[in-house]
Amino acid sequence: MDRFQHYIDGSFADGTATFESLDPATGAAWAVMPLADAADVDRAVTAAHRAFTSAAWAGMTASARGKLLMRLADLVQAHAPRLAALETRDTGKIIRETSAQIAYVAEYYRYYAGLADKIEGSHLPIDKPDMEVWLRREPVGVVAAIVPWNSQLFLSAVKLGPALAAGCTVVLKASEDGPAPLLQFARLVHEAGFPPGVINILTGGPEAGRALTSHPKVAHIAFTGGPDTARHIVRASAENLAKTSLELGGKSPFIVFEDADLESAANAQVSGIFAATGQSCVAGSRLLVQRSVKEAFLARLKAKAEAAHIGAPDRMETEIGPLCTARQRDRIEALIAQSLAAGANLVTGGHAVSGAGFYFPPTILDCTDAPDAPCLRQEFFGPVLSVVSFDTEEQALELANETEFGLASGVFTRNLTRAHRMIRGIRAGIVWVNTYRAVSPIAPFGGHGLSGHGREGGLAAALDYTTIKTVWLRTSDDPIPDPFVMR
């Protein structure tokens, strides 16, 4: 089997322990992965802290940091086919998606390469005539970046890019589910020529996560995952008082009004919930459709769902690949059963595909008469769409905001004034109008509520990895008066 290693302090190293990674398409072990423990994490954080203050990194100009990021971007682009194949093998995400996404990941590193020497301070018009005061933006320190298995190269880029542009150093922890592409990415980091310790990459489970997030030398924790894990991270960060940015997924509303282009909306909905086999933080998993077009729209969706080609993820014709893990498949089946018991109606799908691998078909649940069904509240992280109908715009907005999450949303309508009203009213970090799942390195990405806090992408993300230093310079040549002499 293939073997992978950690990347710590500029060198590749075996973990204290190892584990076998399973191919989601077959359920068989295909590679041996390193498993970090607290000692491995301490070595990585210590290396990152040492690099943060070293002349090789701290003394490097911002423009030089940008050139290193540009070199990394070029390497990601050149090695995208290999990275995509590894992600498909280790996570089950279909090759047509990993190929397209990883090719675009290079643009994130290019964006932050260009931004590295544009993170500026400012001068303050202070109210004291003999003082000059200005603000310096300086890197916050060692960053603990923790990413899940899905879209891991993208989710790493939106953390590594701005953190490195700001001058921070990073310990990146890959998920123990499907870590191969990030461990391979470490070879590109090494080839790009970053000083040892600036970027460290390891994989591990809860022990590694606890050790990393509570480490006294970690200043900022950037995490993508679920709310339950985020709560553990926030508690662990009480040890070091590290700043946190959390991107935690959602239960995003996908709203279709009767005047929408139904074919366009149906294609966007299929992409929004069935792409990546539904394993996306922005999945449009709650369809809110106006009652007058509900049956016609559901008929379109049902036809598209049942026509989707389920197959091996490494084949370009495959449209639905396997789920990443068997436990995720089992959890989805259990949630569907609970939702059906609560009154939801099964439109299509609903049961795991028999045979090898962790396959699950596109599934649609009509919950119009089951407002308390679990599928309307809980994130499946799978290809399951829950449908509710509405009559008025006011009802649509109320249903859209009936969630503890607040990451993404979609609105499909030809009515421009209605679109603006919905944009104002929806409580979510992202509103897509007549489109869905569009991303760019220029645009901030994030949410609120159980979807977390902080933003990834854009200038705001780079500033989030800085701290402000206030500098006071006295300009008078007169001596400072003795404070103990009365005048």
Mind telling me the catalytic residues?
A: 247
Give the span between the Cα atoms of 119 and 156, in whole angstroms: 21
Give the span between the Cα atoms of 446 and 152, in whole angstroms: 16
Give the span between the Cα atoms of 180 and 182, in whole angstroms: 6
Can you tell me which residue has the tokens 């603000």? 135
- Kindly list the distances between the CA atom of residue 255 and the CA atoms of 177, 194, 369, 393, in Å, as whole numbers in the listed order: 33, 46, 18, 10
Q: What is the 3-state secondary structure (H, E, C) of the chain?
A: CEECCEEECCEEECCCEEEEEECCCCCCEEEEEEECCHHHHHHHHHHHHHHHCCHHHHCCCHHHHHHHHHHHHHHHHHCHHHHHHHHHHHHCCCHHHHHHHHHHHHHHHHHHHHHHHHCCCEEECCCCCCEEEEEEEEECCEEEEECCCCCHHHHHHHHHHHHHHHCCEEEEEECCCCCHHHHHHHHHHHHHCCCCCCEEEEECCHHHHHHHHCCCCEEEEEEECCHHHHHHHHHHCCCCCCEEEEECCCCCEEEECCCCCHHHHHHHHHHHHHHHHHCCCCCCCEEEEEHHHHHHHHHHHHHHHHHCCECCCCCCCCCECCCCCHHHHHHHHHHHHHHHHCCCEEEECCCCCCCCCCCCCCEEEECCCCCCCHHHCCCCCCCEEEEEEECCHHHHHHHHCCCCCCCCCEEECCCHHHHHHHHHHCCCCCCEECCCCCCCCCCCECCCHHHEECCECHHHHHHHCEEEEEEEEECCCCCCCCCCCCC
Can you tell me which residue has the tokens 């508690």? 235
